[in-house]
Amino acid sequence: MSLRSAVLLACLLGAAAATGAVDPMRRTMVVEAVERASPAVVNISTTQVIERTPFPGATDPFFDEFFRDFFDARPRRSEQTSLGSGTIVDADGTILTNSHVIQRGSRIRVTLVDGREFDAQLVGADADTDLAVLRIKADARLPSIALGTARDLLIGETVVAIGNPFGLSHTVTTGVVSALGRSLRSEERTFSDFIQTDAAINPGNSGGPLLNIRGELIGITTAIYGKAQGIGFAIPIDRARRIMRDLVSYGAVREGWLGLAAQDLTEQLARHFDTPTGIVVTDVEDESPAARAGLARGMVIVAANERPVRTMSDWDQVVAVTGPGDTLGVTVLDDDERRSLRITVGTYPESALDRLASDGLGLDVGERRDGLVIEGVRRDSPAARIGIKEGDRLLAVAGRPVSSLQELRQALYPVRHAGSVLVTIGRGPYAYAVTVPLRRG
Last residue of a domain, one of 344, 369, 395: 344
Query: Which residues fall within 8 angstroms of residue 256, CB to CB, at 6 or more apart?
Result: 319, 322, 323, 324, 326, 345, 346, 347
Q: Is 389 helix (H, G, I), strand (E, B) or coil?
A: coil
**CA-based nearest residue to 440, from 316, 376, 356, 340:** 356
Cite the active site residues. Answer: 100, 130, 206
Same domain membership, residue 223 and residue 124? yes
**338 is in which domain, residue-wise?**
260-344
Cα(82)–Cα(79) distance, integer angstroms: 10
Per-residue pLDDT 10s for the chain (441 aa) are 554 555 445 554 555 555 556 778 888 999 999 999 999 999 999 876 555 555 554 455 555 555 555 555 555 555 556 688 999 999 999 999 999 898 877 789 999 999 999 999 999 998 888 999 999 999 989 999 999 999 899 999 999 999 988 878 889 999 999 998 887 776 656 677 899 999 988 888 889 999 999 999 999 998 776 666 778 999 999 999 999 999 998 888 888 899 999 999 988 888 888 888 999 999 998 889 999 999 999 999 999 998 899 999 889 888 888 889 999 999 999 887 899 999 999 988 888 889 889 989 999 999 998 899 999 999 889 899 989 999 999 999 988 899 999 899 988 888 887 889 999 999 999 999 999 998 765
Whether 12 is in a domain gets the answer no
**CA-based nearest residue to 162, from 111, 221, 112:** 221
- Which residue type is seen at 244? M
Same domain membership, residue 242 and residue 138? yes
Whether 149 is in a domain gets the answer yes
Same domain membership, residue 196 and residue 105? yes
Cα(377)–Cα(357) distance, integer angstroms: 11
The pLDDT value given to residue 227 = 67
The pLDDT value given to residue 6 = 52
Q: For residue 209, what is the domain's CATH number?
A: 2.40.10.120
Please state the domain count of the chain. Answer: 3
Cα(77)–Cα(56) distance, integer angstroms: 15
The pLDDT value given to residue 12 = 47
pTM over 0.75: no
Element (H, E) at 100: helix 99-102
**CA-based nearest residue to 53, from 78, 79, 75:** 75
Cα(374)–Cα(392) distance, integer angstroms: 5
Three-state secondary structure string covering 371-385: EEEEEEECCCCHHHH
**Alpha helices, DSSP H only, in 111-192?**
none
Q: How many CB atoms lie within 10 A of CB 30?
A: 16
Same domain membership, residue 231 and residue 267? no
